[in-house]
Amino acid sequence: MDEMTKVRELRSQAPRPDAIRLAAGRRQLTEAAEGGVRARRLNTPHLRLGWRLAAVGAAATVTAAAVLSAQLVDGGEGVRTAPVAAMSQSYAVALGSPAETLRDAAATAERAKDPRPHDGQWVFTETSRVNATDGERPGLVDHSSWSRYDNPSMEGGKAGDDHSPREIYRFLNSLPEDPAKVRAKARAFYPKADGETRAQHDFRALTLLTDAYPAPPKGRAAVFRAMAGIPGLKADSVKDILGRDAIALSLGDKAQGDLRGQYLYNPRTWVSSGSRHIAVTDNPGGEGGPEDHWKAGDVIISEAQESRVLVDDKGDTGR
């Protein structure tokens, strides 16, 4: 066994730091961000962020391109980090083609344990976010929430394209094996946004489904296989704002708006772990002063999903 493999094994067995141990580091990040400049808010009306890690939408999704067949190597996309945000910088590691990577993801997802949720439960979620456009709340911002698993007000089309965890779980359980049919059902479940191409619509709908929790393993596997057929996919190996390894999926190199979305996954389990939104054009500065600027490639908004767990009561954290 080589040394790096042993290190990874030891790290995977380490206990999760508690809030007290994490506080000092987070305080340093906040203090560092507060010493930066106030950034203007992006004029991106279609940007949708939340615990579901919703896609950027038509104004910040990406123009479809040909399927990438080359492997990502050093010298590929260099994603920088906005100075105001104190985010972790990404790095490039050789991966298989996006289609191969997603087929591996499907095989991994299929081996996961079914959480077997039941009515009356809640989904407890913890996230951390850095938003370089939010001068009022600089630095790392923590958030926790409870979502009712069986929420009738979010089922049967009552909430538009929002769905309760129960409705999404049942939808995933009903998916066929054929990838083209999965993509068609996903598009119907999450209707098309204005200006979206077919590839953009597929990517948005399927990434939302990969973020579902709780989720049946067979359904998640079907979604990853369906994603493998989207033209223009790109897979990058990155670090999230908590310093964790992640595989970032995106659609091509160019966006229609200010930002390009990347959706992050744990490279070992392929559980959704966050999202990043990257500037596609330079911002030379605005009303905030000469420091109010960033360059194309800077990570502007980043969210890390720390944990999600099924609990029996609202207010329960599962600990």
Q: Do 285 and 267 touch, CB atoms closer than 8 A?
A: no
What's the DSSP call for residue 154?
A: G
First-to-last alpha carbon distance for the chain, in angstroms, is 35
What is the distance between the alpha carbons of residues 213 and 210, in angstroms, rounded to a whole number? 9
pLDDT (tens digit, 9 = 90+) per residue, 149-197? Answer: 999 999 988 887 899 999 999 999 999 999 999 999 999 999 999 888 9
Burial of 16 from C-beta contacts in 10 A (0-12 / 13-18 / 19+):
exposed
pLDDT of residue 288: 55
pLDDT of residue 300: 87
What is the distance between the alpha carbons of residues 277 and 303, in angstroms, rounded to a whole number? 9
CA-wise closest residue to 230 among 255, 204, 208, 248: 204
What is the distance between the alpha carbons of residues 259 and 257, in angstroms, rounded to a whole number? 6
What is the distance between the alpha carbons of residues 297 and 246, in angstroms, rounded to a whole number? 18
CA dihedral 305, 87, 5, 227 (to 10 degrees): 50
pLDDT of residue 287: 60
What is the distance between the alpha carbons of residues 55 and 288, in angstroms, rounded to a whole number? 28
Q: Report the amino acid identity of residue 143.
A: H
Can you read off the two tokens belonging to residue 109? Answer: 């997802």
Q: 115 preceded by cis ω (within 30°)?
A: no
Question: What is the DSSP pairing of strand 80-81 with strand 298-311?
Answer: parallel
What is the distance between the alpha carbons of residues 200 and 181, in angstroms, rounded to a whole number? 17
List average pLDDT for each run of 10 residues in the chain, which is 319 residues long. Answer: 46 43 39 36 38 35 29 30 35 65 95 94 94 78 93 87 94 96 97 90 95 96 96 92 94 68 94 91 65 77 93 89
CA-wise closest residue to 234 among 221, 253, 218, 215: 253
What is the distance between the alpha carbons of residues 247 and 236, in angstroms, rounded to a whole number? 6
What is the distance between the alpha carbons of residues 318 and 116, in angstroms, rounded to a whole number? 16
Q: Report the amino acid identity of residue 42.
A: L
158-163 long-range contacts (CB < 8 A, ≥24 apart) are 161/189, 161/190, 161/191, 163/189
What is the distance between the alpha carbons of residues 277 and 55, in angstroms, rounded to a whole number? 10
This prediction's pTM? 0.69
pLDDT of residue 170: 97
pLDDT of residue 23: 38
Q: Is 156 left (phi over 0), alpha (psi -120 to 50) or beta?
A: left
Can you read off the two tokens belonging to residue 229? Answer: 């057929």
